[in-house]
Each structure stands twice: as structure tokens, then as C-alpha cells.
Amino acid sequence: MTDALALQLAEIRAAGQAAAALDGGVRTAALRRFADLVDSRRADLLAANRRDLDEQAGRIEDALYQRLKLGDGKIDALVTGVRQLADRPDPVGTSLGRTLLDDDLVLTKVAVPIGVIGVVFESRPDVIPQILSLVLRSGNVAVLKGGREALHSNRAFMQLVGELNREIGELPERWATLFETREEIRAILDYPEYVDLVIPRGSNQLVRSIQESTRIPVLGHAEGVCHVYVHPSADMAKAVDVAIDSKVQYPSACNALETLLVDGECAAEFLPRFAEVAGPAGITIRGCERTRSVLPDVDHATDDDWRTEFGDLRLSVRVVDGLDAAIDHIHRFGSGHTDCVVAEDETICESFLRRVDSASVFANASTRFADGFRYGLGAEVGISTNKTHARGPVGVEGLMIYKYQLRGAGQVVRNYAGTDARAFRHEPLS
């Protein structure tokens, strides 16, 4: 398998070079047609997804099962996102800055694709069209490995790739390749010479397994332990609504609320109001001792709960003494994904936004807004909690890197060295 796989990856690497050289208009046309195909083939996509749902009913965790579902709403969002990407300017070759080093010697920093992007994901079949649209816009190519639980859905989306290739002949045939076995992806991780970046989307276990199994750079987040801190200045009704939406709107998502922090000065007022809504919403609360003094019927929270991504309607609640204590808790137990403060005091909001070291930091808004589509990126290939290259929802910009182009007129370095060296001008240009 190794020799055959190496040959495939070499072909994919060559496809990446061809994709980077495509005219931007071809990429735009491909995106528009891809959106049309997803929209017009939705019946086939939903039928394939129904096969996956029927086969996996009762066999996988509920959180994974919920992520497996497509539905018309998700397809509508996918189509909208792809069309948004098609409407964006082509980023490949964009100048990121020009510097006049000397007369007739100009240095330009240019945006270029990263190359071959490997994406390993669990359950969510809508990941495929998101990734494909992003790599099309950014001039990259994709190596995909989806979970077996979404086999039929993944294949249905890849059939659209075949149609797109037949209709737009300029696209390199191997710009998107789906692998289906764990053995293949394990082998692919041993080829840093062919794959430039790996993005895992799935469980903490999946992400850590990928990170520990390859020399290829990995962009991802291990956990989504997100917080909402309710300050005494908060509008209590607003705070309840933000916290409930952050947890209930899609509890299995990585940007869902996992720990609710409530200031001690407003706990007696806020917690009963929150519990009154949380109970009917199906939320099970695990509280600290101070929380349980206000809500005596809730379960006792352990230290492990503060660092747990539940992925369901369980929620840990802790009473803290002030903004500093809330931020200390977030930095100690959080994962650097998404954290929010609810407060009417603008000084508190600005302090929280400035001091919390997470990929997304909000004031008075649900953590569920941490999403590439909602940020206007068109789609996302994943959410990164890394502090290098890309952070937060990774859209087109996160799949780009840059190179330097120097245009001269025969200049040589020896004229810029030594006692009589010619001086550089280093003047910024447009």
C-alpha cells in the first residue's frame, strides 16, 4: 500500500501546483457551479445521509449522531456559504505589501496557497463541502478522511466533485481526494514531503492522536471548553438568554457553553432565574458549593467538570468573586476556544475582551457565534486554538501563506556590503 499511496500523494502534490497556478476566474466559476450542484442534488444528499442515520441509530454517541444529520437547513447554509466565497476576491497572488529596497529593486510579499491540506474529521458530512469550497477559493488541494459513520453522505458529496471536474476541465483531477480507511490516513501521516498541513476535526482523542502521530504541522483544537461569565452589572434577562443559547442551540458543537461562571454579587438573583429556564430546556446542572447553596437540588461539581467538554446538556456552574477570579478560572481550566462576558459595564467588557487569551472572546453574545459562516468567512475548515499561523475559525486566510518576490535590474549584494556599501532605501510602497 505504501508505494501505491506514495504515487497517489505525488499526483495530489502535482495537482496542488496546478491548482495554485489556475486563473482566479476558473476558481470562481467552479465555486458557483459547486454551490448549484449542492443545491440541485439535495435530494440525493439527504437520501444518502438518511442511510447513514439509519445504519448508525443506537450505535454511536448521541452527540456524534446529532452531528451526522444534514437536513435542508444545513444544506441551505452550505449553499449560501459557497456562494459567499465565490463573491469574494480571489486571494491567490494578492500583494500583502511592497517595499522599495533601492532604485529598480522592489520586494513584494504575495499571498499563496499552503498546498496539500489533509483534513481528518468525524461524523459531520457537511465538513466536506465546507473544505472543498475553501480549498477551491484558496488554490489549495485537499486530502480528506471522513468517519465511517458518514460513509454514504461523504460519497454523495464526492460524486459532486466528479461532476464538477467533468464540467470544468481546467480543474486538476486530484484537487479533492477522499480516503476511507484508517490504515490509509495513518500511512498518509508519514508523508510530510507530500502533505503540508493536517487539520483534524472531531473528538479530543482524535486531535491528540493526530498530533502525536505525524511530523506534518497540525492545526486544530483539542477541546472546546467554553465559558460565559455573568457580571453583577449584567441585564439578568439578557444573561439568561445568552447562557441558554450558548448551551442549548447546539450542545454538541465545540463552541457550546460548558462552564457558566456567576459573580457572587449577583448569584442569588441570577441562578434561580437561570434554573427556571434551564430545567425545561433539559439542562442538567453540576454546581460548586456556593451554587448549591442557592440551587440545593443540583448535582455536585468536581474539579474534572471544570475542564470537561460535555458535548451534551450537562453544564458546570461556579460562583466566583469578581472579574479577576473569572479570568483566572478561564485561563486555568479553559481550552482557549471561546469565552464570553455578560455585563452592562463597558469597562468590564473591554477588560475581559483584552485580558482573556482565547481564540474568540465575546461580550454580550452567545458563544455559538464562533463559527466561520457567522463570521462572514463563507465557511470554515475548522476552529484553531493554536497561537501560530491561524487562530479561531479557519477560513480562506487560514489556508494561505506568503512568499517574497524580488524584482531587480541586475543588482548584486557586493555593492551593498563593505566600507563603501550602497545604502538600502527600504521605502514602503502601496
What b/e readout covers 35-49, taking b as 16+ CB neighbours within 10 angstroms?
A: bebbbebbeebbebb
Q: Which residues contact 424 (CB under 8 A, 6 or more apart)?
A: 101, 102, 416
Q: Where are the alpha helices (DSSP H) in 41-146?
A: 42-56, 62-68, 71-87, 127-138
Kindly report the number of other CB atoms within 10 A of residue 167's CB atom.
13
pLDDT, residue 66, reads 87
pTM of the predicted model as reported, rounded to 2 decimal places:
0.86
Distance CA 232, CA 387 (A): 32
Give the per-residue pLDDT at 222: 66
Amino acid letter for position 268: A
What is the tens place of the pLDDT at every residue in 189-239?
999 999 999 999 877 788 888 989 999 999 977 689 999 999 999 999 999
Tabulate helix, strand, coil % of the chain (nearest 5): 45, 20, 35
Asked which of 62-66, 79-83, 296-300 is least confident by mean pLDDT, the reply is 62-66
Question: 2-91+111-219+394-401 sits in which CATH class?
Answer: alpha beta
Give the span between the Cα atoms of 309 and 306, in whole angstroms: 9
Q: Per-residue pLDDT tens for 117-175?
A: 999 988 889 989 999 999 999 999 999 999 899 999 999 999 999 999 999 999 999 99
Is the pLDDT reported for residue 406 higher than 70? yes
Whether the Cβ atoms of residue 332 and residue 276 lie closer than 8 Å to each other: no
Sequence-separated (6 or more) residues with CB below 8 Å from residue 98: 106, 107, 108, 109, 428, 429, 430
Q: Please, what CATH class does the domain formed by 226-369 belong to?
A: alpha beta
Residue 354 is predicted with a pLDDT of 98
Least confident of 163-167, 252-256, 257-261: 252-256
Which pLDDT does position 1 carry in this prediction?
A: 56
C-alpha cell of 233? 452589572
Q: What confidence tier does 299 reach under pLDDT thresholds 50, 70, 90?
A: very high
Length of the chain, in residues: 430
> Quick one: pLDDT band at residue 67, thresholds 50, 70, 90?
confident
Lowest mean pLDDT among 53-67, 170-184, 285-299, 341-355: 53-67
Q: Hey, where are the domains in the chain?
A: 2-91+111-219+394-401, 226-369
**What is the overall mean pLDDT for the chain?**
95
- What average pLDDT does this structure show over 288-306? 97
Spatial separation of the C-alpha atoms in residues 217 and 199, rounded to whole Å = 9
| Number of separate helices (H) and strands (E) present in the chain | 15, 17
Question: Per-residue pLDDT for 2 more than 80?
Answer: no
Question: How far apart (Å, rounded) are the C-alpha atoms in residues 89 and 138?
Answer: 10
Rg for the chain, CA atoms, rounded:
25
pLDDT of the residue at 252:
86
Q: pLDDT for 410-425, tens place per residue?
A: 999 999 999 999 999 9
Q: Which residue has the higher pLDDT, 308 or 66?
A: 308
Tens of pLDDT along 109-121? 999 999 999 999 8
Output the pLDDT for position 220: 78
Amino acid letter for position 295: L
| Alpha-carbon gap, residue 30 to 37, rounded angstroms | 10
